[in-house]
Structures are given as structure tokens and as C-alpha cells.
A and B are shown apart, each in its own frame.
Chain A
Amino acid sequence: MKSARNQLILLGFLAQGLSWDEYFLPLINALLWVGCLLWRRRPIRFGPVTESVILAAGCAAGYLLAAGMGRSTHFFIGHGLVLMQAVRLLRPLDRREKVFSILIACFHLGVGCTLAPDFRFMAVLLAAMILVPKSLLDLERKAFAGGVPVFKLRSVMGAFAGVSGITILVFLAFPRIFVGAPIQLRAGTSDQGTLLDSVLDPARSGYAQSDRTLLQIEGERLGPLRCYALADFNGLQWSAEKRTTLRRIQYVSPEQLTGHPYRRVRAKQVGFLGRILPTDGPVVALSGRFFRRPLQNAHGAIECEAMWNTANNLYEYWTDPKPRFDRLTRAQAQFYTYHPPQSERLQNWLAGVLAGVTNSLEQARRLEARLQTNFKYQLGGPELQRLNPIDDFIFNQKQGHCERFAASLALLLRMEGVPSRIVIGYLPVNRNRYSGWYNIRFKDAHAWTEGYFPEVGWVQFDATPGGAVEAGGWNLRDLLDTLDFAWYSHVVNFDGSAQKQLVISSLRSLEQSAAWARRESPWLLAVVLAALSAWVWQQRQNRDKVHITRSRPKTAVQAAHYYGQMLRALARQGFHRASPQTPLEFLSDLQGRALPHLSEVRFITEVFCSTRYGHHPLSAMEEAEIEKALERIRKGSATGAT
């Protein structure tokens, strides 16, 4: 387990496990790794054919299981390789196999990298930054020294520091080319119901409570972000207009944008946008690089002709703080007020609620308040009656998710002759305390109602009780979100424009530093001179130390010391070395006599000769071996004496 290569293999296992899910398979893979290493008391060799079969079986199992369980099948080869690596953990490998195992580990890490996991993956990458070079170093040094590590860690610390520094530099400076992959849209305006239902109704999908972040928005006083409007009501179901007019955005020149609310949005899940750019007001300027030809529809939402993934899916827009509204034509008014005749009970209930109120706007407010206070917000409530859903909701169930409240209010407004529509979008409720950005998650999806009043235009009403909105946030979570944002924007999606920005800011910092240095030049000069003097002094000190070291190599002295101890121990046993005898002559002389521990004596003599005369450094392992051998010789001496 201490081997850097094995640790790198574990990292690969974890990274490959992420292709399945965040916890289950990484944990299984980690347990497999531990099991294989603990099992390896005796090498288990399966042979190349069996290993190939295991690889193929792993690939097939990975593919079939992934396909059967609705997971990604792209990485099935990686699962097979995990099994093969695990099998090879059960036996010692030759050099070629070790290189191959490092390659496979890199492949697994590559799989993890392509998945763009969250900032926790940083720990894996940092570990890889140490373990990849260390595995390679171990591989080479063992090949050179016959399996004996001969370097002290201190001697290669510089290499690791160098690799780390260069890694960061190369990562920052490496030319980024992103060909891009066209995204398969989950939904567009044509099939928006699918997306909306999947987001809003938990009975159909799990996104309603999902914490996954969809958008991150920078801006002040952010309003609800609108995506779609459902204005066509057939008596049972609300849907988008079949034919809606799209018009160009009325752009305002950059000079006139001062004072307009500015928003910068980062879309993390472009596939879920459905060619719609969520905005929180009438847009007067819009820019971005992951969509083409944005147009504004009749309900104020921004629809694009096409969208694709880029490294950073950013767009920015400015809204109009004092928007004008277009008056509805007679036909539009008829369209927005259309509703089939409703039940008498509902009409009576509506009349009762609005008793005494004549102003349309006030009537709408009263209805909004009535629904908010007397009804209950609940996700995943039972289905409404198909024939008369609103009656069922108002009189029987009195609970549901936001879409039911929005639909009910819109119908009630239409019954009162107020043009209305349902708007689907997101509520920006979570603002990160550290970054200041709003995090829009899937669970922030919301539906509300808009009513049209000739004197004020379209007015928003949110009849949903307060349960839909989760105010505030947890500090740690904000911190993690900030980390996540920094991770994705500065690491995962670090692109050409970010590189350019980095260069510009670096140059600016350099200019500022130069200006500061010019200002503080006397002090700076003094500090530099002091540092230079200290460096020169240290160099001289080091040179003296080196002289001492060169004149008396430490290891040679140490070897002579051990050899002397051995001679003394042998002398106590009656084996005296004659002064003209060389160590090897003395050894050959001893070979002819009955000396216990002759192998220890031979070992110490050979190490002494190679260190003293061959100038081979004495390794720590050899020192330990010598001390053990000396101990055995001394014990033999003591036995002989008694």
C-alpha cells in the first residue's frame, strides 16, 4: 500500500468509479483495491490469457450493467481495466507491466477528468501531481539499483517541486482549443412541457428537489427569471402558444447602458435550458458565445436559434429599469381571457372571495392572498381529477405544487375578465455570501401568474404559499458553492479568454509592482543587498562544509568504523588479523578456519571494501544489515567466551 504506484492505481479506481456515481462505485473500487493488496500474501498468477478474459468480462459487465441501469456506457473499457489492474495487484509485476499499470491509472484519471467532477476532485488531482512523478521515479530507480531505493527523499524534493510548478504553469499557458460538442437539447419551446414537468412536478422526475446548480448569476436586485409562458388554455391544460411572434431585442447603445441593471450568468447545464436564456426583465443588451441569434418572444423570454457547449457558458445582459408595455389588442385580450365555462360552485366561490372589491388589480391581489393563506404547498401531491381539475384543487385537495397555484389563479383571473398567463422560470433565492452570485438550482424552478391591467401592463402574482421559497443559506454550503464556482470557472473551464484575462491582469500587476519598486527603490535596494550578502555568506558556509565532506567521506569513515568493530569482535574470539593482511586476505584466511558467522564477516568485509576503496555510498539499508550482522558476531563471541 505504501507503493506510489499502488496509490496511483487507487486514485485511478476512484476516478473510474466517478463515471458511475459519486459514492457507490468509488467505494467498491477502493474496497477492491484494499482487498487485493491485503490478499497478496502469496503471489497469485492468472496468466495472460486469463487476465485478458477478465479484462473482456469486466468490459462486458461494465457495458451491460451501465446500459441496464441507465448509466453512461462510454467508460465500459475503464471498468474492465479496473478489474485487470485489481488482478495484477495480486502478484509482483515486471517493469513493462508496471509502466502499463501507470498508464492505465492515467487513463482512469483521464476518465475522471472528462466527467468534470466538482471541486472535491481537486484532491485527486493534487495527489496525482505527487503520485505520477513518484511512481515513475520509483520505477526507474528500482530498475537501476536492482530494487533497492537509493535516493533520499530530500534529494528528489526539488523534482517534485519542479513538476508541481511546471504543471501549474503549463496548465495556465497551454493553448486551449475547444472544438465543442453539439448538445442534444432536452427540450425547446415546442416540447417545453416535458422539461417543465420534469422540473416542476416531482412525480415525473427527481429534479424538483435537486440541488444541482443550473445557473450562477452575478447582479443586484435580481427578479424572477422567466423562461416560458403558458397562455393557451383548453379548459384542462395550459400550454404555450402554438404560434408566437419573435422579435429582435431592442438593443441600446453601450453608452446608454449606464444605470441599466447588469447581470452576468453562467449556465452550468446548457442542455436543460432548452434554447431559452433565462432573464429577469426586458432585455436591452445581450452577449454570449454559446448561442446563436437570440430573439425575444411575445412573453418577454429570450429564445435562441441554437445552443452549444463551450468551456464557459457565460452570457451577460442588461435590463430596462423602466420598461414600456404594449397594449393588448382586442384579439390578444380575447386570447388571454379565454376559458371554458366553469362550474357554478367555482363561480359562487369566486364571487364570495371577491365580494366588495371592484378594482381588477385589487381583486387579483385578494385572490393571490386567498390562495397563499388558505392553501398548502406540497410537492408530489395526488393527481387532480382530469375532468374538473381546478374544482378538485380549490374545493377538495387544497394543496399542490406551484404550477397548480399559478394555473388556478390564472383561470380565476380570466373568469373575472383579466387577461392572464402562467410564467415558468426560476426564483433567485440563494445568494452566495462569499461570491455574491446567485445560485439557481433545479429546485428553484417555479411557476407564477401574470395578469394584464390596461393602466399598468402585466403584473406578477405568486399565489404559491411560502413553502416554495427557501430563504437564507448555510455558510458552509455557500463556501462550498464559492469553491465550486472557482473550481469550474478557473480550473475546469479555464479557457482562452480566461488565459487572456490572466495575462492582462499579470501585466497590470507587473506595471503596478514596477511603479511601487520605483517609489520604494532605496528601501528595496537595501533589502536586496542584505539578501545578497546573506546568500553569499551561506554559500561560503556550504563550501566549507563541502570541503570537510570531501576530505573525509562520511560513508567511508562509517564503513571503517563497522569493520573495526568486527575486527575487535573477532579478536575476542581469537581470530586476529595480521597487520600486512588486506581485508580480503584476512577473509580468505578465515575461510579455512572454523569460524561461525563467516557469511556475516564476508558481508561486512565486502561492504567495507566497496565503500572504502570503491567509493560506493553506504545505504541506510546496508548500515542496518551491518549492525545486525555485528550483533550476531558479537553474540557468537560472547558464547565462545563463556
Chain B
Amino acid sequence: MIFVFTKTGRVFLAVSVLMYLASLTSQSGLLLFLISILAGCYLVNFGWAWRNVRQVELQTPDSVHISEGQRAAQPWRLTNGSRHWAGLIQVESPDGVLGSVAALAPLGAVSFLPDLVYWKRGVYSYTRISLGSIYPFGFIKAVRLMKLPGEVVVYPAVYHAQPPRAAGYDVMVGGKFKGNRRTMSGSIFAGVRPMQAGDPLKQIHWKSSAKGQGLMVKTFEEELSGRVSFIMDCGQAGDAKILDDCVRATGSLIFAALDEGHHVEWIDLKQLHLRLIPPFADGHEILDELARIEEARGCLQESALRQAVEKVSNKSAVQFVLTDFNAAAREVTLQLKSQNRAVTLYLPETCEAVEDLGGVPVFTYSECGLVERV
């Protein structure tokens, strides 16, 4: 339990001290009476705020997952365990006031929706949530750190983006890209052909086979999906906003790639841990990991970039989503280009113009979009 003077409390304390100084030279002791009234307010405030905070309990929902710019939709509940009125209660986190309750009846409970809008991705743990009360006079605030289990995970706000360039197309049912060949399985019916040895019986197209030209089997369009690798820098620029924009851009590109039916691999230069995401995956895990990315300066180094490139698939198109562009990034980019790898650069809009990289496409990202740099 922590007690702090509120701004009003500090002002009135200063006034009390001034009054006391005045009383030293004043013949009247009545100034002390005035000081005593204020002292009474302080002491009552201290006691009641302490009782409030001690007796009121907060029930939170389990971990909440929301996106940037949203507020939690699940109600929280305050319960007054005492036989006295409680009031002027604030549920706070270091990021702002979650909710406030003016009055809580004895043994009563009240539910509220948190007012706090989470504008920034990240993990907001409930362990840092505190319950404060300034009841009744607003001079002293009693604060209790609740140490509750659970957290609010704020996903980066992904936006619509053009799907990134893919490479290393493989056959995959549901792939959005059409190949030249016919396959025995797929979602787009291409036609029939005479049955050959080894064709499974279930592929027989009985309707056409009944026409007397022998057994015919179904063929489908070849469906392909590409491979896209994202290599993300975790804050070389040292600017939290650019990192957030970078994370948002990465998330948006990953989802665009997944929607296109590509295999996605992504790796961040801090952990250098490769994540493989099959096409049409749910994506919550990706967002969860993107939400938890923390800033790490100095990770955009040649060695880290080479390790990352080695870990991703050789056939994949490499997308560098960086917060800065330095010599190491340039070196690795040119090297990959010389190996005929499909490489794309995504840089913050504040990044200075990049010299010609031999035709490597360069995009810039901002808070809410991607633009190709010509």
C-alpha cells in the first residue's frame, strides 16, 4: 500500500504550512483551528482511502487480446467487501486510468468497461494494475498494487498491403497460383483424361467413363504457392515509433502473403529464431509474437543478417523489413541479388534515399501504409 499526496493535497498542505508560519507571530490561536480542520480532512482521507483500497477487490477477465486503438471489451468488476461505502476509486495502470467508480455501496459490486484505449502494441500485464482511492476529500491517494494474473496483449494494427513478391513456388492444394500442369487433386476442375496405371480408383470420373470410351479420371489445375521470408530488424533506428511502424508493416505483409497462400518464414534479428507459417494459418500466434517484440539496438549487423539468410529457405523471396539501412544491409542485399534471389527492401519513410541496389525494389512504410519508392 502506497500513500501519495494528490496535487490538491500538496497545495492545501503548503497553505497549512503557511498558516502555521503565520500563527507563530499571530496572537490568535485560531489559525491553528483552521489548520486542524485541514489536518482532520487529511487524516480522515488517509483512513478512509486506506480502508477503501484494502476492502475493494478487482476481478479482471483472463488475458485479453485486442488490436492497437481498441479498448478491452470484457467487463471488469469491483467488489466492496466492507460494510461501509467506498468511493472515488480509480483502477490504474502505468499507461493510464482504466476506469473509475464514484461510489460503491456496502457489500456491493459494480462492473465497468475499461476506458483505456491502447494505442501502442505490446503486452500490458495485470501485475502492474493498481487500485487507488482518494475518498473522500481528494487530499491523499491510497494505492494498492493488485498483482493480478493475466495481461492485455495489444496486437499491432495490420493494414491492407499488396502481397509481397514470392519465389520457389511449390504445388499445394489451395495455392492461389496456377501452374501449367494438371494434377490429380485440387480445387479447380480442369477436365478428364483416360485412366492410366497407378491412378487411384477414387479419381475415376464415372459420368464420362459411362460414355463408352473407357475409364476416365478427373484432373485439376495445378495450384502453386510461393515462399516468402521476412527478416525483421528490431530497432536499429533506436526510435520506438519506427519500430512499431516496422512491426505493423511486417504483420501486414505477412498476412498479405498468407492470404495469397504463400509459405511464410519470418525471423527477427534479435532472437534469430525462424518461424514457419503454413499458408492460410490463423495468424494469432504471429500477432502475439509481433506484439511482444522489444526494441534491440545494434542488431542490424552483417553477421546477424547472414545468419538469418542462412536460416530461411533458399528458394524463398527475401523481404527485409528494416528500421534503418546501413552498410551491412546493403552488402547482404547486393549479395543476395547477385545470387539471383528475389529480394525486397522495406524501409521507414524517414529513411534517406537508398542508392541504386541493382533493381532491388524498395518500399517505404509509415504508420498505416506501404508505398513503393521509385
Q: Do A and B bind each other?
A: yes
Whole-angstrom CA separation of A100 from B154 in the bound complex: 40
Whole-angstrom CA separation of A456 from B44 in the bound complex: 69
Q: Is B309 an interface residue (CB 8 A)?
A: no
Those of B258-296 within 8 Å (CB) of chain A: none
Q: Is A529 an interface residue (CB 8 A)?
A: no
Contacts of B22 in A (CB 8 A): 110, 114
Q: Are B44 and A163 in contact, CB atoms less than 8 angstroms apart? A: yes
Given contacts A181-B27, A491-B30, A616-B110, contact A163 B37 (CB under 8 A): yes
Determine the residue in chain A with the shortest Cβ distance to B27: A309
Contacts of B108 in A (CB 8 A): 553, 615, 617
Q: Are B102 and A163 in contact, CB atoms less than 8 angstroms apart? A: no
Given contacts A106-B15, A151-B87, A167-B33, contact A116 B107 (CB under 8 A): no
Contacts of B101 in A (CB 8 A): 144
Chain A interface, DSSP helix/strand/loop, else mixed: helix
Those of A423-437 within 8 Å (CB) of chain B: none
Contact with A along B115-150 (1 / 0, CB 8 A): 000000000000000000011111100000000000
Given contacts A103-B11, A103-B12, A144-B88, contact A550 B25 (CB under 8 A): no
Whole-angstrom CA separation of A106 from B27 in the bound complex: 19
Contacts of B172 in A (CB 8 A): none
Q: Is B187 an interface residue (CB 8 A)?
A: no
Whole-angstrom CA separation of A132 from B15 in the bound complex: 14
Determine the residue in chain A with the shortest Cβ distance to B137: A136
Q: Is A137 an interface residue (CB 8 A)?
A: yes
Whole-angstrom CA separation of A125 from B29 in the bound complex: 12
Contact with B along A139-160 (1 / 0, CB 8 A): 1110111001011000110110
Q: Is A569 an interface residue (CB 8 A)?
A: no
Given contacts A156-B136, A615-B111, contact A113 B25 (CB under 8 A): no
Q: Is B189 an interface residue (CB 8 A)?
A: no
Contacts of B48 in A (CB 8 A): 159, 162
Whole-angstrom CA separation of A491 from B29 in the bound complex: 7
Q: Are A179 and B44 in contact, CB atoms less than 8 angstroms apart? A: no
Whole-angstrom CA separation of A120 from B234 in the bound complex: 74
Q: Are A179 and B24 in contact, CB atoms less than 8 angstroms apart? A: yes
Whole-angstrom CA separation of A99 from B139 in the bound complex: 11
Stretch at the interface among A43-51, A391-399, A492-500: A492-500
Q: Is B298 an interface residue (CB 8 A)?
A: no
Determine the residue in chain A with the shortest Cβ distance to B135: A140
Whole-angstrom CA separation of A615 from B210 in the bound complex: 70
Q: Are B138 and A140 in contact, CB atoms less than 8 angstroms apart? A: yes
Contact with A along B18-47 (1 / 0, CB 8 A): 010010111111111111111111011001
Q: Is B112 an interface residue (CB 8 A)?
A: yes
Contacts of A155 in B (CB 8 A): 84-85, 87, 103
Contacts of B112 in A (CB 8 A): 614
Q: Is A325 an interface residue (CB 8 A)?
A: no
Whole-angstrom CA separation of A139 from B138 in the bound complex: 9
Determine the residue in chain A with the shortest Cβ distance to B87: A151
Q: Is B60 an interface residue (CB 8 A)?
A: no
Contacts of B102 in A (CB 8 A): 141, 144-145, 148, 150-151
Q: Is A180 an interface residue (CB 8 A)?
A: yes
Whole-angstrom CA separation of A178 from B12 in the bound complex: 22
Contacts of A125 in B (CB 8 A): 30, 33-34
Q: Are A615 and B110 in contact, CB atoms less than 8 angstroms apart? A: yes
Contacts of B19 in A (CB 8 A): 110
Contacts of B47 in A (CB 8 A): 162
Those of B44-91 within 8 Å (CB) of chain A: 44, 47-48, 75, 77, 83-85, 87-88
Q: Are A145 and B103 in contact, CB atoms less than 8 angstroms apart? A: yes
Q: Is B209 an interface residue (CB 8 A)?
A: no
Q: Is B109 an interface residue (CB 8 A)?
A: yes
Q: Is A60 an interface residue (CB 8 A)?
A: no
Determine the residue in chain B with the shortest Cβ distance to A114: B26
Whole-angstrom CA separation of A614 from B75 in the bound complex: 8
Q: Are B32 and A546 in contact, CB atoms less than 8 angstroms apart? A: no
Q: Are B39 and A114 in contact, CB atoms less than 8 angstroms apart? A: no
Contacts of A181 in B (CB 8 A): 25, 27
Whole-angstrom CA separation of A550 from B111 in the bound complex: 15
Contact with A along B187-227 (1 / 0, CB 8 A): 00000000000000000000000000000000000000000
Q: Are B41 and A614 in contact, CB atoms less than 8 angstroms apart? A: no
Q: Are A133 and B34 in contact, CB atoms less than 8 angstroms apart? A: no
Q: Is B100 an interface residue (CB 8 A)?
A: yes
Whole-angstrom CA separation of A178 from B360 in the bound complex: 84
Whole-angstrom CA separation of A30 from B28 in the bound complex: 24
Q: Is B105 an interface residue (CB 8 A)?
A: yes
Q: Are B37 and A132 in contact, CB atoms less than 8 angstroms apart? A: yes
Q: Is B335 an interface residue (CB 8 A)?
A: no
Q: Give the contacting residue for B110; candidates A113, A114, A132, A614; CB below 8 A.
A: A614
Q: Give the contacting residue for A614; candidates B39, B40, B111; CB below 8 A.
A: B111
Q: Is B326 an interface residue (CB 8 A)?
A: no
Q: Is A311 an interface residue (CB 8 A)?
A: yes
Contacts of A150 in B (CB 8 A): 87, 102-103
Give the shortest distance, in Å, between B146 (CB) and chain A (any CB): 19
Given contacts A140-B137, A616-B110, contact A121 B27 (CB under 8 A): no
Q: Are A550 and B107 in contact, CB atoms less than 8 angstroms apart? A: yes
Whole-angstrom CA separation of A489 from B44 in the bound complex: 29
Q: Are B139 and A136 in contact, CB atoms less than 8 angstroms apart? A: yes
Contacts of B350 in A (CB 8 A): none
Q: Are B27 and A137 in contact, CB atoms less than 8 angstroms apart? A: no
Q: Is B8 an interface residue (CB 8 A)?
A: yes
Contacts of B134 in A (CB 8 A): 140
Q: Are B136 and A132 in contact, CB atoms less than 8 angstroms apart? A: no
Contacts of A159 in B (CB 8 A): 44, 48, 136-137
Given contacts A103-B12, A181-B27, contact A166 B110 (CB under 8 A): no
Q: Are A492 and B37 in contact, CB atoms less than 8 angstroms apart? A: no
Give the shortest distance, in Å, between A271 (CB) and chain B (any CB): 11
Whole-angstrom CA separation of A162 from B43 in the bound complex: 9
Contacts of A107 in B (CB 8 A): 15
Q: Are A114 and B87 in contact, CB atoms less than 8 angstroms apart? A: no
Interchain Cβ contacts under 8 Å between A and B, 13 examples: A106-B12, A110-B22, A113-B31, A114-B26, A125-B30, A144-B88, A162-B43, A166-B40, A166-B44, A167-B33, A171-B33, A178-B24, A614-B110
5 extra interchain contacts, Cβ-Cβ under 8 A, other than A125-B33, A171-B32, A176-B29? A141-B136, A148-B102, A170-B40, A170-B43, A179-B24
Chain A interface residues toward B at CB < 8 A: 99, 103, 106-107, 109-110, 112-116, 121, 125, 128-129, 132-133, 136-137, 139-141, 143-145, 148, 150-151, 155-156, 158-159, 162-168, 170-171, 174, 176-181, 309-311, 491-495, 542, 546, 549-550, 553, 613-617
Chain B interface residues toward A at CB < 8 A: 8, 11-12, 15, 19, 22, 24-41, 43-44, 47-48, 75, 77, 83-85, 87-88, 100-103, 105-112, 134-139
Shortest Cβ-Cβ A-B pairs, 9 listed: A113-B30, A116-B28, A166-B40, A145-B102, A155-B85, A163-B40, A140-B138, A170-B36, A171-B36
